[in-house]
Amino acid sequence: MNIVMLGPPGSGKGTQAQYLVKRFGLVHISTGDLFREILKNPDHPLYQEVRVVNEGKLVSDDVTNRVVENAIEKLKDSKGIIFDGYPRTISQAQALDRMMSSVNMKVDVVLDLNVTQEVILYRLLGRRICPNCRKIYHVNDGYTQCPDCKVPLRVRDDDNEETIVKRLKEYNEWAAHLKDYYSKSNSVYISLTIDDVSKTSQEVQEEVIQEFSKRGLV
Ligand code: ADP
Ligand code: ZN
């Protein structure tokens, strides 16, 4: 089973992907991770093309597709792939369809974590990071210092309302095209609305599994 994950920054996409990896023995392809890996190696043939990431820009569709194709090639014998951060444009979605069909696979499920802006703001504005070990806490955890490192927790620079709202707006713009694309495809589209700040990632995971089983996917 191959899954494309959609969800705004702060939606907990990465965490849900990890659960699905464990539960179904899938492998996780995150374009952000693949690009960070390439940036560790200045001799990588795509290093120059990927460097734009450091300026906050998107990598070109062509280079992104090549990086993903390479990763899929290595994983074609796996039980399935979860795509996270990809596709991000219609042209990437079309390229993914072509890559998948060339190895006799398809995007079976699109899992859209539709977390409301209110919940995202609550999560991200309450987020505190340990400057030493980088572990993330929430103000409601009640810590003012890192329990491991004993240093005061801090707010991350990009965790301010203006930046978050801007990133959400950007996400909504590009994701709308993909939602439209996949709603017309033969992939199963699962949208989970998360509008309750007290919902835990375990609870979300259970709902995800319920949605899968309703559709006979597990
Ligand atoms: P975020 O998208 O939240 O910034 P990611 O870790 O998913 O974090 O990606 C890091 C960066 O890599 C993005 O900001 C973008 O520059 C680039 N990137 C990731 N996925 C893609 C993609 N599908 N197409 C183009 N660029 C991408
Ligand atoms: Zn720490």
Please state the φ and ψ torsions of residue 76, each to the nearest 5 degrees.
-65, -15
pLDDT band at residue 158 using 50, 70 and 90 as cut-offs: confident
**Distance from C-alpha of 77 to C-alpha of 105, rounded to nearest angstrom:** 11
Distance from the alpha carbon of residue 38 to the mean position of ligand 1, in angstroms: 13
Domains and their CATH numbers in the chain: 3-116+169-214 (3.40.50.300)
pLDDT band at residue 10 using 50, 70 and 90 as cut-offs: very high
CA-57 nearest atom, ligand 1: 16
pLDDT band at residue 218 using 50, 70 and 90 as cut-offs: confident
Can you give the pLDDT at residue 76?
A: 80
- Judge whether 66 counts as a catalytic residue: no
What percent of the chain has pLDDT above 70?
Answer: 100
**Distance from C-alpha of 34 to C-alpha of 14, rounded to nearest angstrom:** 14
- Judge whether 128 counts as a catalytic residue: no
Whether the model clears a pTM of 0.85, i.e. scores above it, the answer is yes
Can you give the pLDDT at residue 58?
A: 95
- Judge whether 88 counts as a catalytic residue: yes
Distance from the alpha carbon of residue 165 to the mean position of ligand 2, in angstroms: 28
